[in-house]
Amino acid sequence: MKFGMRKPSLNKSIAARTTGRATRAVKRALIPGYGKKGMGWLRDPKRAARNAAYQRTTFDVRDLFKK
């Protein structure tokens, strides 16, 4: 398990900000439960637990510059 600061990735940051609203709308219409809170725990509990622990034990560089 990683502790501390996450290594920033410019490519992933840009991809996350430019995923289209239309793409999400289509997926939400076609895939039951897409975008609903807590669906990760139903779909893959082991992965969701790992992700939750990772989010709690690491922080982003940008968090250092927030108020």
Task: Classify residue 38 by burial, with Cβ atoms within 10 Å: 0-12, 13-18, 19+.
Answer: exposed
Confidence grade of residue 64 (pLDDT, cut at 50, 70, 90): confident
* Inter-CA distances, 53 with 2, 10, 14, 26, 67, Å: 9, 23, 24, 30, 24
Query: Using one digit for the tens of pLDDT, what is the confidence trace for 5-43?
Result: 988 899 988 888 887 888 888 999 999 888 888 888 988
Supply the pLDDT for residue 35: 85
pTM above 0.85, yes or no: no
